[in-house]
Amino acid sequence: MNAEPNLRTPLYSEHSALQARIAPFGGWDMPIQYTGIIEEHVHTRTAASLFDTCHMGEFRVCGTAAAQALDRLITCPIASLAPGRCRYGFLLNETGGVLDDLITYRISEDEFMIVVNAGTLPGDRAWIAAHLPAGVTFDDESDETGKLDLQGPLAGEVLQPLTAGDLRTLKYFGFMQTTVCGVPALVSRTGYTGEYGFEVYLPVEQTLMLWRALLDDPRVKPAGLGARDTLRLEIGLPLYGHELCATRTPAGAGMSFAIDLKKDFIGQPAVAADAQTGPREQLVGLQLTSRQSARAAQTIVCGDKKIGVVTSGSFAPSVGTAVALGYVPKEHVQVGTALQIDTGRARLDARVVPLPFYTNGTARTGPRS
């Protein structure tokens, strides 16, 4: 029996024309790189890069009880979220394990948009829909919605001439409903790269038009998921399926800002218990002494004892060395702790360092003058 083919975004032919390296990701055929991961990474940090993120999912939840229902489902505060603002949080199972990490947008008092990861979309859809009360409506708008991320310190200069709204008014984790190239769009400022930038949601049939319009600017280059991964790793952000999974609570991932333990949400007792005692294993940043990278699933050792596992690892172009994230017992999380990573062929020296690895990003401050 043949497996189902991977899905493709509306821009697949554009990626092919640009000779991108395509690989499976979350059930989709996605561009991993165009000219090279390091080159695309550096361009994002210094200018503006364009990412195809049409594979991600968008849900619409509406009703007078929608805020209260989502407060029960998602770890971050939802009822207190103001229209025009969005928040990062987690969707958990009953034992506190992470089903997905997501961003919730409050469109109006009774209307929300939830943006979820591609690989978890079917499960998220079923879980959320099953836990909404009567009178709260749920719509999966993923197939009708296109999404492009323009990231980098020059992103505002590039996008503003195409946008009716004043992008300078957007604060971090704010959004506006406006037009881009004359097309109705929602533009937000969250980012997954550590740099100033915007996410543009628009009708899927208009995605190709905007992609080409943005790449017409010589300051913009396309970037793939390879650079997206090294950029998020440098700023210590988790990736579902690596740092986050259904068998761990998010308490050990250092993401307490996205968890409101004062409210009642699914999985709250388990997360609260972990937070009170300190999770047995905690996520740490590891800086290696060379450019040789660790990889996910490799073993973290202390002396001759296996103590943990790498969840993500790569050379970090903006740091100049290889870095990694991994879970280790709480007695090994102190900054400066010397550890090693067993690659199977060699042991790489590493030490625990504070997160993020890279601290000069413009995501919160905006571009520097």
Whether residue 314 has pLDDT greater than 80:
yes
- pLDDT, residue 205, reads 98
**CATH, range 1-277:** 3.30.1360.120
For residue 110, the model assigns a pLDDT of 98
Q: Mind listing the pLDDT tens digit for each residue in 95-114? A: 999 999 999 999 999 999 99
| Buried/exposed 265-285: b ≥16 CB within 10 Å, e otherwise | bbbbebbbebbeeebebbbbb
Does residue 1 carry a pLDDT above 70?
A: no
Outline where the chain has alpha helix (H): 12-17, 37-46, 66-73, 121-130, 155-159, 207-215, 225-234, 268-277
The amino acid occupying position 20 is A
Give 129's contacts (C-beta < 8 A, 6+ positions apart).
138
User: Is the distance from CB of 353 to CB of 286 less than 8 angstroms?
Assistant: yes
pLDDT tens for each residue of 324-345: 999 999 999 999 999 999 999 9
- pLDDT grade, residue 4 (50/70/90)? confident
Question: Residues 37-95: pLDDT tens digits?
Answer: 999 999 999 999 999 999 999 999 999 999 999 999 999 999 999 999 999 999 999 99
Q: How far is the C-alpha of 218 from the C-alpha of 198, rounded, in Å? A: 18
β-strand 175-180 against 220-222: which pairing, if any? unpaired
Q: Which single residue is written with the structure tokens 């859809």?
A: 125
Phi-psi region of 178 (alpha: psi -120 to 50; beta: other; left: phi over 0): beta
| Tens-digit pLDDT profile for residues 116-128 | 999 999 999 999 9
3-state secondary structure of 202: strand
Structure confidence at residue 168 (pLDDT): 96
- Bond preceding residue 356 cis, omega within 30 of 0: yes
Summarize pLDDT for 198-257 with one digit per residue, the tens. Answer: 999 999 999 999 999 999 999 999 999 999 999 999 999 999 999 999 999 999 999 999
**C-alpha–C-alpha distance, residues 28 and 74, integer Å:** 26
Instruction: Output the six-digit token pair for 255.
Output: 């993401």
Q: Label residue 291 by pLDDT band (50, 70, 90).
A: confident
**pLDDT, averaged across the chain:** 97
* pLDDT at 2 exceeding the cut of 70: no
Task: Check pLDDT > 60 for residue 312.
Answer: yes
Give the pLDDT confidence score for residue 278 in this predicted structure: 86
pLDDT score recorded for residue 290: 85
**Residue 312 near residue 228 (C-beta atoms within 8 A):** no
User: pLDDT value at position 78?
Assistant: 98
Beta bridge partners of 105: 86, 113
Class of residue 301 by CB neighbours under 10 A (exposed 0-12, middle 13-18, buried 19+): middle
pLDDT at 369: 61
Q: What residues does 299 pair with on adjacent strands?
A: 309, 342
Residues of the chain with CATH 2.40.30.110: 280-354
Pairwise CA distance, residues 165 & 148, whole Å: 17
Q: What architecture is the 280-354 domain classified under in CATH?
A: Beta Barrel (2.40)
Half-sphere exposure of 24 (CA within 13 A, CB side): 6
Predicted pLDDT of residue 325: 98
Q: Where in the chain is the domain with CATH 3.30.1360.120?
A: 1-277
How would DSSP label each residue in 250-301? GGGGT-GGG--TTS--TTHHHHHHHHHH--SEEEEEEEESSSPPP-TTPEEE
User: DSSP letter at 240?
Assistant: B
**pTM for this predicted structure:** 0.97
- 48-52 and 220-222 as β-strands: parallel, antiparallel, unpaired? parallel
Q: Which residues touch 321 (CB under 8 Å, ≥6 apart)?
A: 287, 288, 289, 290, 291, 315
Counting Cα atoms < 13 Å in the Cβ hemisphere of 77 gives 9
